[in-house]
Chains A and B, each alone.
Chain A
Amino acid sequence: MQFSSAIFVLFLALTILLYYLLPKKWQWGVLLVASYVFYLSQGVQYIGFLLYTTVVTYFTGRILSARAKKEDDFVEANRETLTKEERKAFRASEKKARFRILLCGLVLGFGLLILLKYTAFFAGGVRDIVTAFGGASFKIPSLLIPLGLSFYTFQSMGYLIDLYRKKITAETNFLKFALFVSFFPQIIQGPISRFGDLGKELTTPHTFSAGDFSAGLFRVAYGFFKKLVVADTAMIGVRYLYEHTDTQQGIYVILLILLYTAEIYGDFTGGIDITIGISRMLGIRLAENFNRPFSAQSVKEYWRRWHITMGTWFTDYVFYPLSVSGGMQKFSTWSRSHLGNAVGKRLPVYFATIVTWFLTGLWHGAGWNFIVWGLLNCFVILISQELQPLWNLFLKKCQKLSGSGFFYCFRAARTFLLMGLFRSLDVYKDVPLTFSLWGSMFTTWNWGELFSASGLTSFGMNLWQLLVLGAGILLILLATNLGKKTPLWDRLASRSVLAVALSACILTLVLVFGSYGVGYDAADFIYGQF
C-alpha cells in the first residue's frame, strides 16, 4: 500500500471516518490498528522487526523510568539526612547505572539496525581485506531490510535518550507506546518525532476541526502534486542519465544535478507534506521537516532547513553528547596543552563534527557514496567555519554588495548547486565514477549538444514531460513564495471551502499530469529506502 495508490486513499478515508465517528477515547486505538494494518500491508515479514524494536524500547524505557523515580524518591525521602555531597555522589552513581541501562537499550535497538542494514557493507569490507591477502572470497547473504527501519529506530532510541536525560517520563501503556513507534503516516519516511511532542498528540482526543481538516487535505494534495507531477517526471530524466553515464557527461552531469534536485525535493518534501497533511486531518501536529531549504545562504544554514528532524537528532543525540563527554573534555585539555590554543581548541570540535557527519552519511545507506557525501558536507562546513572571520571582513568591507538582493541570490544559488553536486553521489552511487563525472563538467564541452534542436530530448524525456516538469516547478515556486511568511495551508485553515476547492483542483492536475500508471514505473518514495 503506497501513499499514491487507490487502495491507500480508501484506507485513509475509512480510518478518518472511524477516527471521528467512534467515541473519542477509541481514537488512538483506531490509529494503532490502522498503523499496523498499513505496516502489515507493506509486507508481513517486516512486522517482527517492528515489534522487536517496540518491545525492547518499551521495557528499557520502563526500567529507566523506574530507576529514575527510585532515585528521585530516595533523594526526596532523605532530603534531611543527606549532605549535598552525598546527594551529588548518589545522583552520579545512579546516573551511571541508568547509563548502563540506556546502553543496553541502544545496543539492542541500534544492533538490529546495524545487523540488517550494515552487515553486508562491513562484511564486504572484510571480504576485500581477506581477498587482498590471498584468502578465498565468500558470498554475503542479503538480509531483509524492514521498511522505515532507520526512521522508527531513531525515533525509539531518541525516546530512550530523552528518558535517560529525564526530559520525559516513560509511557506506561504498551499499546500507546506501540502507536508512537508505528504511527502510519510517518513510519516510512519520517519526520523523526520526539516523544515529548508526539506522544501526547497521538493519544489525546481530537475534535474534528474543519480548518485543520481542510488545511491538511490541501497539504496532502500539494504533496501528491510534488511527488507525482514533479519528482516522478524528473525521475524519467534522472534514470536515463545515470543509466547512460558512458555518453551523458559534461553538461549532462549539471543537468542530472538539477533534475535530481527537483526529484528529491518533490519526492521528500512532497512525502512529508502528505505525512503532515494526513496527521493534520486527524488533528495531530507533527514536527516540520523543511523550511524553504533552497533559500539557504550556506551549507550550515541549509542543514537547518532541510530534513530538520534528522539534523536535530544528530545534533542532540550525537554531536552534543560527544562534545561534552568526559573523554572529549580530557582530549580537549590534552590537545590545548600540547598543540596550542589555536589547534587544540578546534580539534575536539572537528572530531565531533566529523563523527556526526560520518554517521549521518551512514544513516542514509550502507555505501561509500553516502559516507563520502557526509564527509564532503562536513568538509565544507568546517572550511567555511575557518574562513568565517575572513568572510565577515569581506562583508563589512563591501556592505553595499552584501546587502543586495543579487548577493542573496548568488549565495542561495551557490549553496543550491553545491548541495546538488554532493547529492549526485546518491544517484551515481559509484564514488570514483562520480568524481570522474564531476571532472567531465570541466573537460567535456558539450553544451552545444544539449541546446541543439534534438538536444532537449536527448536525455530520455520528451518535450511534453519537460513542459509538465517546468510548469510544476513554477507552481511550487509560486506556492512557496505565497507561503513565505505563513505557509499556504495555514493561510487556508480559516477558509475551508477555498482549501477544499483548491485541493480538488490540484488533485485533478495530479490525476492528469502525474507520472503514474501504464508506461511509468511505479516509484517508491526515495526516503523510504533510508
Chain B
Amino acid sequence: MKKKWKILIPCIAVLLVFCLAVGFLGKLFEPKYVAEQKEGGMIRDYYKETGSHDILFVGDCEVYENFVPAVLYEEYGITSYIRGSAQQLVWQSYYLLEEMLKKETPKAVVFNVLALKYGEPQNEAYNRMTLDGMKFSLSKWNAIRASMTKEESFASYLLPLLRFHDRWKELTEEDFAYLFSQPTVSYQGYLLQTEVKGGVSDREGVPLTDYTLPASSMAYLEKMRALCEEKGVELILIKAPTNNWKYWWYDEWDAQVKDYAEAHGLSYYNFIPLCGEIGIDWNTDTYDKGVHLNVYGAEKLTSYFGKILTETRSFVDHREEPEAAALWDTYLENYYLAKGDSK
C-alpha cells in the first residue's frame, strides 16, 4: 500500500504541474490585443467596468465605432456601455447579452441589425476575437458551440494553447507585460478612431439572388427579444449609418427588420436615410471610406441618438448624482485625453 502512494502522489504532482504549464503557456501565447487589433480586447474590457448602465449596446463594429458612451453621458446624463467586437454575429451578441443581464438590468438594450445577414459561422479569426475575451460560463460555452466554423475545435477554446501554440516564435514584450492582466483598450466599449479617410463612391451594393434574412439569425434576434422581455428591458433595433458598396444595407433587409419590429412593438431606427439630418459628412466623418464613422462622425451620431432617447423616453440624469458623476467624469476625461492625444 505504502509503495502505491509513493508512486501515485508524485504522479499526481507531475500531472498538476503539467496542467499548470499548459494553462500558463496558453496564457502566454494568447494574443494580447493591446497595441494592435484592439478589437480583440474589447469583450474582456467589460469585466473591469464598474457601475450600472442605462443603455447596453450589443452588435458588431457598427456599435463600437459609431457610438461614444462618454458623449452620451456628457450631453444627456445617460450611462451606457457597448459590448461589441469585430463581425460579432447575432448569437454572439445574444450570449454576451445573456451574460451581462445576469449582472445588471439596464433600461434598454440597443442592437445593431447588420449581423442579421449572417446565418452561419463565418470566420475563425473574428470568432476568437469575440469569444476568447469572454470569461468562462455557460453563456460562453453556448456561444462557442454556436459560432465554430467547420475547421475549429471546441477544445481549442478551452485550452488556448491548442490554438496559439504556434506563436512561440512571435512573442513580443507585450505578451510578457500583459500576461495576466491587460489594460482596457476601449472607452466603455467605444474604440477610438481619429483618422479621416473619406472619398466615398456613389456605388451601391451588388445585387443578391435572395434577400431573405437567414432564419437562424432571426431566431437569435427572437431569443434576444424574449430575453429582454423576460428581464423587463426594452429592446431597440438600430442600423448605423454606412456608405460603402461592400457593407450595403439593402432595402429588402430593412423592410424585414421593420416588419419584425412592428410585429413585436419594438422601436427601429435606420440612420442611413437620416445622415443629412445628423450632419454626417462622408468626406470627413469616416476613417475607412464609409464602412465606419470616425470619432467626429460617432460624436454626431451619439448626439442625435441621445436626443431621440431623451425625447421619447425618460432617463435619470446621472450628471446630478454625485457618485455616478464622479465615476463618469473620469471616463469623460480619459476619453477626451485620448482623443486629444491621437490628434
By a beta-carbon cutoff of 8 Å, the part of chain A in contact with chain B is 5-7, 210, 214, 464, 496-497, 500-501, 504, 507-508, 511-514, 516-519
* Nearest-CB residue, chain A, relative to B156: A517
Among the listed B4, B11, B18, B151, which residue makes an inter-chain contact with A507, where contact means beta carbons less than 8 Å apart? B18
Among the listed B14, B25, B152, B169, which residue makes an inter-chain contact with A497, where contact means beta carbons less than 8 Å apart? B14
* Nearest-CB residue, chain B, relative to A502: B14
Contacts of A497 in B (CB 8 A): 7, 10-11, 14
Chain B: minimal CB distance from A492 (Å): 13
Is B21's CB within 8 Å of the partner chain A? Answer: yes
9 cross-chain pairs, A with B, having the tightest CB-CB distances, nearest first: A6-B155, A504-B18, A497-B10, A464-B169, A500-B11, A501-B14, A512-B165, A496-B7, A210-B7
Judge whether A508 and B7 touch: CB under 8 Å: no
Judge whether B10 and A6 touch: CB under 8 Å: no
Contacts of A513 in B (CB 8 A): 165, 168
Task: Give the residues from 1 to 52 in chain B that come closer than 8 angstroms, CB to CB, to chain A.
Answer: 4, 7, 10-11, 14-15, 17-18, 21-22, 25
Could you show 18 A-B contacts with beta carbons less than 8 Å apart? Answer: A6-B154, A7-B155, A210-B4, A497-B7, A497-B14, A500-B10, A500-B14, A504-B15, A508-B18, A508-B25, A511-B22, A511-B161, A513-B165, A513-B168, A514-B165, A516-B162, A517-B156, A517-B163
Contact with A along B173-188 (1 / 0, CB 8 A): 0000000000000000
- Residues of B in contact (CB 8 Å), total 25
Is B75's CB within 8 Å of the partner chain A? Answer: no
Q: Given A504-B17, A517-B166, does the pair A512, B161 have CB atoms closer than 8 Å?
A: yes
Task: Give the residues from 132 to 173 in chain B that come closer than 8 angstroms, CB to CB, to chain A.
Answer: 151-156, 161-163, 165-166, 168-169
Among the listed A496, A512, A517, which residue makes an inter-chain contact with B11, where contact means beta carbons less than 8 Å apart? A496
Is B204's CB within 8 Å of the partner chain A? Answer: no
Contacts of B4 in A (CB 8 A): 210
How far is B167's CA from A519's CA once the two chains are assembled, in angstroms? 12
Judge whether A504 and B156 touch: CB under 8 Å: no
Judge whether A511 and B11 touch: CB under 8 Å: no
Chain B: minimal CB distance from A218 (Å): 12
How far is B14's CA from A501's CA once the two chains are assembled, in angstroms? 6
Chain B: minimal CB distance from A232 (Å): 12
Contacts of A512 in B (CB 8 A): 25, 161, 165, 168
How far is B4's CA from A17's CA once the two chains are assembled, in angstroms? 17
* Nearest-CB residue, chain B, relative to A514: B165
Chain A: minimal CB distance from B180 (Å): 19
Judge whether B162 and A511 touch: CB under 8 Å: yes
How far is B166's CA from A516's CA once the two chains are assembled, in angstroms? 9
Judge whether B14 and A511 touch: CB under 8 Å: no
Contacts of B155 in A (CB 8 A): 6-7
Judge whether A511 and B7 touch: CB under 8 Å: no
Contacts of B25 in A (CB 8 A): 508, 511-512
* Nearest-CB residue, chain A, relative to B26: A511
Which among B18, B124, B154 has the highest number of chain A CB atoms within 10 Å? B18
How far is B124's CA from A496's CA once the two chains are assembled, in angstroms? 41
* Nearest-CB residue, chain A, relative to B12: A500
Chain B: minimal CB distance from A11 (Å): 13
Contacts of A464 in B (CB 8 A): 169
Chain A: minimal CB distance from B26 (Å): 9
Chain B: minimal CB distance from A227 (Å): 15
Contacts of B22 in A (CB 8 A): 508, 511
How far is B35's CA from A505's CA once the two chains are assembled, in angstroms? 33
Task: Give the residues from 329 to 343 in chain B that come closer than 8 angstroms, CB to CB, to chain A.
Answer: none
Q: Given A504-B15, A504-B17, does the pair A511, B165 have CB atoms closer than 8 Å?
A: yes
How far is B180's CA from A14's CA once the two chains are assembled, in angstroms? 33
Judge whether A504 and B14 touch: CB under 8 Å: yes
Contacts of A508 in B (CB 8 A): 18, 21-22, 25
Contact with A along B230-269 (1 / 0, CB 8 A): 0000000000000000000000000000000000000000
How far is B163's CA from A514's CA once the two chains are assembled, in angstroms? 11
How far is B25's CA from A507's CA once the two chains are assembled, in angstroms? 13
How far is B153's CA from A517's CA once the two chains are assembled, in angstroms? 8
How far is B11's CA from A210's CA once the two chains are assembled, in angstroms? 10
Chain A: minimal CB distance from B314 (Å): 49
Contacts of B169 in A (CB 8 A): 464
How far is B18's CA from A5's CA once the two chains are assembled, in angstroms? 18
Chain A: minimal CB distance from B102 (Å): 29
Which among B11, B15, B152, B154 has the highest number of chain A CB atoms within 10 Å? B11
How far is B15's CA from A504's CA once the two chains are assembled, in angstroms? 7
How far is B10's CA from A44's CA once the two chains are assembled, in angstroms? 42
Inter-chain pairs besides A504-B14, A514-B165, 17 sampled, C-beta below 8 Å: A5-B153, A6-B153, A6-B162, A210-B4, A464-B169, A496-B7, A496-B11, A497-B7, A500-B11, A501-B14, A504-B15, A513-B165, A513-B168, A516-B162, A517-B165, A517-B166, A518-B156
Chain A: minimal CB distance from B32 (Å): 18
Chain B: minimal CB distance from A127 (Å): 36
Chain B: minimal CB distance from A168 (Å): 38
Judge whether A518 and B151 touch: CB under 8 Å: yes
Contacts of A514 in B (CB 8 A): 165
Q: Given A6-B153, A6-B155, A512-B25, does the pair A518, B163 have CB atoms closer than 8 Å?
A: yes
Contacts of B11 in A (CB 8 A): 214, 496-497, 500
Chain B: minimal CB distance from A225 (Å): 14
* Nearest-CB residue, chain A, relative to B10: A497
* Nearest-CB residue, chain B, relative to A464: B169
How far is B25's CA from A513's CA once the two chains are assembled, in angstroms? 12
How far is B10's CA from A6's CA once the two chains are assembled, in angstroms? 25
Chain A: minimal CB distance from B328 (Å): 41
Chain A: minimal CB distance from B161 (Å): 6
Chain B: minimal CB distance from A12 (Å): 14
Chain A: minimal CB distance from B197 (Å): 31
Chain A: minimal CB distance from B4 (Å): 8
Contacts of A6 in B (CB 8 A): 153-155, 162
